[in-house]
């Protein structure tokens, strides 16, 4: 095997191929009765693998024989990009190793089919303000794949409650009862976010999502109403503190991670570019 070692001292061969993918840094080494060919596959997209074959030339690269059959390692179908290695048993394929030996590693690009999945997530948000505007109860349904879609809605326990009056920061607006009232320290924060949007795949198990919709975050202040004559409690009401209540356009964006049948999402949402929330979700895809 000394003759093989001398000949292989000068073997380096680089082969570019279509679509910016490239076979680079091809080197070889003798290991006993095997020759190890190392090479890099670069420029692949996340959904691309390679069908790799090994060819050998005994005249300095003018002509090649192959593909070689007695090979193992990162060769054949489903080879991924990165640093790879082929082990070749030369005397099982050729009678001798004489001449100016050059290896050619050829890699044909294979675009793997991108699957589509439906997903259902429990979802919610957490307000970035120091108050009670979070909406921890929600549902997101949609489809992930190369391009998909989703719809989502989130609310809290008081999300659909209404107020009896508005409060303008100074007094109750248009109060029409023959009673007097007092405020206390009880509050409610009705919150709702709804969205429709798209998803886009950026890696095998990684997807971006973004959408727009309608939402509100309200601030309700509790008051008790009393009779003027005997100071007895007659009723109670909630006031919409309009200086702190906001409704209108909602927008969100985030990332979905798929792990077999489970999937997760985390993102950011904004209401009228005033109130911001961290969005989260977990569920199943099928």
What is the pLDDT at residue 176?
86
Global pTM value:
0.76
Domain ranges across the chain: 2-111, 117-285
Residue of higher predicted confidence among 130 and 261: 261
- With a CB cutoff of 8 Å and minimum separation 6, the contacts of 60 are 99, 100, 102
- Measured at the CA of 25, the angle between CA 69 and CA 30, to 5 degrees, comes to 50
Please tell me the distance from the alpha carbon of residue 196 to that of residue 184, in angstroms, as a whole number: 39
Cβ atoms 271, 258 nearer than 8 A: no
Q: Average pLDDT, stretch 100-104?
A: 91
Q: Which residues pair with 16 in a beta bridge?
A: 22
* Alpha-carbon gap, residue 252 to 193, rounded angstroms: 10
* Phi-psi map region of 38: left, alpha, beta (phi>0 left; psi -120 to 50 alpha): beta
Q: Which residues pair with 154 in a beta bridge?
A: 138, 193
CA distance 103 to 126: 59
Q: Which DSSP state fits 32? A: T
In the predicted model, what is the mean pLDDT of the chain?
90
Q: What is the pLDDT of residues 111-148, one digit of tens each?
A: 998 999 999 999 999 988 766 678 999 999 999 999 99
9-13, 26-30, 142-146, 168-172: which range is least confident on average?
9-13
Mean pLDDT value across residues 66-81: 95
- How many angstroms separate the CA atoms of 152 and 212, rounded? 10
So what's the pLDDT on residue 283?
98
Query: Where is average pLDDT lowest: 42-56, 126-140, 177-191, 237-251?
Result: 126-140
pLDDT at residue 15 tops 80: no
Q: Which two tokens stand for residue 14?
A: 């680089």
pLDDT band at 174 (very low <50, low <70, confident <90, very high): confident
The pLDDT assigned to 132 comes to 66
CA distance 80 to 187: 58
Computed on alpha carbons and rounded to an integer, the radius of gyration of the chain in Å comes to 34
Average pLDDT over residues 156-184: 91
Cβ neighbours for 145, distance < 8 A, ≥ 6 positions apart: 114, 115, 116, 117, 199, 201
Q: What is the pLDDT of residue 274?
A: 86
Q: Are 63 and 57 in contact (CB under 8 A)?
A: yes
- Return the CATH architecture of domain 117-285: Beta Barrel (2.40)
Architecture (CATH level 2) of domain 2-111: Sandwich (2.60)
**Average pLDDT of the residues in 23-36:** 90
- Edge-first strand listing for the sheet containing 76-79: 76-79, 48-57, 102-111
pLDDT at 241 over 70: yes
Residues 195, 269: Cα–Cα separation, whole Å: 10
What's the confidence (pLDDT) of residue 19?
A: 55
Provide the token pair at 198.
């798209």
Mean pLDDT of 153-168: 94
For 59-105, what is the HEC assignment?
A: ECCCCCECCCCCEEECCEEEECCEEEEEEECHHHCCCCCCCECEEEE
Angstrom distances, CA of residue 88 to CA of 31, 72, 91: 10, 7, 9
User: Which has the minimum average pLDDT: 6-20, 34-48, 136-150, 151-165?
Assistant: 6-20
């Amino acid at each position: 095997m000394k003759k093989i070692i001398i000949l292989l001292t000068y073997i380096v061969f680089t082969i570019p191929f279509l679509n910016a993918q490239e076979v680079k840094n091809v080197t070889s080494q003798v290991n006993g009765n095997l020759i190890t060919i190392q090479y890099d596959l670069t420029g692949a997209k996340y959904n691309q693998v390679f069908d790799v074959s090994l060819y050998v030339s005994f005249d300095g690269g003018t002509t090649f024989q192959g593909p070689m059959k007695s090979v193992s390692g990162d060769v054949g179908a489903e080879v991924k990009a990165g640093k790879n290695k082929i082990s070749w048993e030369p005397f099982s394929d050729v009678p001798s190793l004489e001449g100016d030996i050059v290896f050619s590693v050829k890699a044909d690009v294979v675009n793997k089919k991108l699957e589509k999945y439906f997903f259902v997530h429990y979802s919610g948000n957490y307000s970035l303000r120091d108050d009670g505007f979070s909406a921890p109860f929600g549902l997101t349904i949609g489809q992930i794949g190369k391009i998909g879609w989703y719809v989502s809605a989130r609310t809290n326990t008081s999300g659909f409650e209404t107020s009896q009056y508005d409060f303008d920061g100074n007094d109750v607006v248009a109060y029409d009862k023959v009673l007097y009232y007092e405020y206390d320290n009880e509050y409610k924060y009705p919150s709702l976010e709804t969205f429709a949007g798209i998803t886009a795949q950026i890696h095998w198990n990684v997807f971006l999502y973004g959408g727009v919709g309608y939402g509100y975050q309200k601030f309700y202040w509790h008051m008790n109403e009393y009779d003027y004559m005997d100071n007895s409690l007659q009723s109670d009401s909630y006031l919409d503190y309009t200086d702190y209540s906001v409704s209108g356009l909602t927008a969100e964006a985030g990332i979905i991670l798929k792990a077999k049948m489970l999937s997760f999402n985390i993102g950011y949402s904004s209401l009228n570019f005033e109130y911001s929330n961290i969005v989260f979700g977990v569920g199943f895809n099928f």
